[in-house]
Structures are given as structure tokens and as C-alpha cells.
Amino acid sequence: MDVRDQAELVGKLFLAAFCGGVIGWQRDRHQYVAGLRTMALVASGSLLFTAANEVVGSDRVIANIVTGIGFLGAGVMLREGGTVRGITTAATIWSVAAIGVAIGLELYLLALVATPLVFVILEMRPFSEYISGRRAEPPLPPRLRRAIGNDEPEEHAGDEHD
């Protein structure tokens, strides 16, 4: 691998860290455990393993990334009574790893579409709670809550508390 290839890899590394960081920022903003640093590291690590796969030529690296991320995801899920918490965090880690792999495989458009898509899906939580009946009224944006004097953070519903 010459210097030019390595420079390209460094660019991919920054792109993966950025994409993971964007999703992680959303998680940090809502005070979940796996945030910006975790997601940036998962995307970057997945990219590096994928790049190593290109150099070494092993066809099993991506499958092993999926397996390893599965164990990491299992570690963030908790069972409390009749509910399971952390499922969305585990799925987010898995998605961020896939974004890192996509960048490693030079599927840039896919990664750049997947990043905001995952972000938007994560932001839909209050609306999915409203639709499923776990929330009595539509959520107010934080800025509006502060403006009317209700600036206490909202409680998160049972099965999704990451």
C-alpha cells in the first residue's frame, strides 16, 4: 500500500468518524449511553477492519465485524422486569458499523444517505411513542418547552430507555 492509498484511507477514516459522530451526537443530545465517541469509534473501527480486509484479502472480515458488533450490542441491552432496554442503541451501533463498512468498500453515496436516515429515524422516537399511545399528547420541542416554563427533561418510555 503506497502513500497515496494510505492518504485515501485517512480521508475515509475521517469520513467514517464524521458519519458515526453525527449519529452519536444525536444520542448524546438525548443523554443515551453510547454517544458521539462510541459511534465515531465504531464507524472508524469498522472502516479499518474493512480496509485491512482489502490488503489481506480475507473474505471473512465483514462477517466478523457483524458478529463482534452483535456482542457489543448485546452488552448495551438490559432486561428490567418485563421490558428490555437498549434495543435501539444496539441497532444504532450495528447501523453505524455498517456505515463504516460501506465507506471502507467505497460505497460513499450509500453511507452518506444512511447517515441522515439513521439520524432521522432516531429523532422519530417521540412521534412513535405518541402513535403507539405511550404518550398522551404530541411532544413539544425542547425550545418551546423552555419558553413556556416546562424545561424539565421528559421521561423516556420503558422499552426504549437506552
List pLDDT tens digits, range 107-121. 999 999 999 999 999
Domain assignment of residue 46, given as a range: 3-134
Per-residue pLDDT, 148: 66
Task: State pTM to two decimals.
Answer: 0.74
DSSP state of 123: H
| Nearest to 47, CA basis, from 73, 76, 10, 74 | 10
Distances from the Cα of 8 to the Cα of 24, 26, 47, 150, angstroms? 24, 28, 12, 49
- The 10s digit of each residue's pLDDT in 109-162 is 999 999 999 999 999 877 777 777 765 555 666 776 666 665 555 444 444 454
What is the number of domains present in the chain?
1
pLDDT, position 157? 46
Q: Which candidate, 46, 42, 134, 119, places its Cα nearest to that of 88? A: 119
pLDDT at position 159, please? 46
Q: Could you tell me if residue 158 is inside a domain? A: no
Residue 159 lies in a domain: no
- Does the residue 154 lie in any domain? no
Is residue 16 domain-resident? yes
pLDDT for residue 13: 96
* Residue 55: Cβ within 10 Å count: 10
